[in-house]
Structure 1
């Protein structure tokens, strides 16, 4: 399905990002893996190699311009081009607003939105030069409605969705598709220590990361004349 395609996946060392990278590799894509954890990225790269596909690891903090430039150089040096960019890197903290510091705000907004901006900006010239390609943003239901004890996280995800909407207007007629995947709760390590606890029984009712990865695949496998701008999915345990 994605043979001869090159995908960049951020936040690829674990959880949803790892699941997306593996789902794309199983369908024939070569993958550029980005996150901060070198060891975990290398492990995912090994899983992709076992599937018969190529993987390049670019460890770094994507809030920083120099790390994003290194990611771009690694991708283009290895493969010469990029076809798919999945902005998945994200962090969160849950609690009343009074529990949040300015440093918490910067950490969440910069990881979820600034990194999306920098990564998109870095690879967009390549997609526009080709006149084709996909930008995917793994957002959240928290980017579609305000939720209690998630004010800053919601702000970051609303920003990400608005960014994607604006890009859809700019890029659609130039051959670049923009998609947003907005899941509810997912059973990963997300927000452990900042509002979630390992072993919480509620996690068992959450989506598996592979289900979110399949939603990304769904958006990407549309025909050239179609785009799935917003794909939302919720666990059965969560109300709308």
Structure 2
């Protein structure tokens, strides 16, 4: 299906993991991609994958916590493709920390990347979307933002903020033709999945997941593709949980 023929998407944190899978999935359905990542080499690698499959994409280096860099990202994609229809706020970091040892720096860094970054990127594209009267923003949250989790209060707070932000601007922007939703994954096979680097640890984790396995980035990408498509045209401010029952 070519759901996104003629449309342009920006995916942040698109150099690896879930972001890469999302970029490739949208491109496979016809979208032109702004592949944004703090590591330019990773973004360029994904762009090559898209181009090798006869897609169109540009790589953009961006630190989503820096408003000028975010503004430049949007300008570069507009210069390349003339429009922005879809924004996927996926850029993220993770460091496990027990609350008594949690530093102020760790707290600020986590909220800056996840919550401030989502705000800055959304604000930067919304002006363009408002002018066109249409658009779609999809934020990548986490089940930790819903249930709290046990890996770090800073991560749970940041993702909880992303979810509340999604619900709030989803309601505010719906009347302007802009749909905002979120996906809340649980344990997914990415570099951010820490503490399961031995067969024993993986087995222990999988026993906790009713489905019996760790999720794949491509499964999250499929949910994003659905939310970005016209098939989700009546879904506003919602959070789709993808956890395998965890």
* Contact 2:17-2:191 at 8 Å conserved across structures: yes
Q: Distance in 2 between matches of 1:214 and 1:126?
A: 26
Partner residue, 1:209: 217
Partner residue, 1:235: 244
Consecutive unaligned residues of structure 2, counting only runs of 5 or more, are: 207-212
Partner residue, 1:110: 112
Q: Distance in 2 between matches of 1:225 and 1:47?
A: 29
TM score, norm. by length of structure 1: 0.92
Could you say what the CA RMSD is over the residues aligned between the two structures, in angstroms? 1.6
> Closer, same or farther in 2 for the Cα pair 1:94/1:234, shift >3 Å?
same
Q: Distance in 1 between matches of 2:232 and 2:104?
A: 43
Q: In structure 1, which of residues 166, 169, 173 is the aligned counterpart of residue 168 of structure 2? A: 166
Q: CA deviation at 1:224?
A: 7.0
Q: Distance in 2 between matches of 1:47 and 1:231?
A: 28
Q: Secondary structure at the match of 2:91?
A: coil
Partner residue, 1:135: 137
Greater than 6 Å deviation, 4+ residue runs: none
Q: CA deviation at 1:175?
A: 0.4
Q: Distance in 1 between matches of 2:181 and 2:221?
A: 13
Q: Distance in 1 between matches of 2:29 and 2:170?
A: 26
Q: Distance in 2 between matches of 1:113 and 1:33?
A: 20
> Closer, same or farther in 2 for the Cα pair 1:132/1:59, shift >3 Å?
same
- 1:120-151 deviation line (CA, Å, top 9, x unaligned): 01000111111111000010111111122321
> Closer, same or farther in 2 for the Cα pair 1:86/1:225, shift >3 Å?
closer
Q: Distance in 2 between matches of 1:143 and 1:61?
A: 22
* Contact 2:187-2:193 at 8 Å conserved across structures: no
Q: In structure 1, which of residues 217, 220, 233 is the aligned counterpart of residue 228 of structure 2? A: 220
Q: Distance in 2 between matches of 1:118 and 1:35?
A: 15
Q: Secondary structure at the match of 1:144?
A: helix
Q: Distance in 2 between matches of 1:206 and 1:156?
A: 23
* Contact 1:93-1:191 at 8 Å conserved across structures: no
Q: How many residues align?
A: 234
Q: Distance in 2 between matches of 1:169 and 1:69?
A: 24
Partner residue, 2:152: 150
* Contact 1:219-1:231 at 8 Å conserved across structures: no
Consecutive unaligned residues of structure 1, counting only runs of 5 or more, are: none
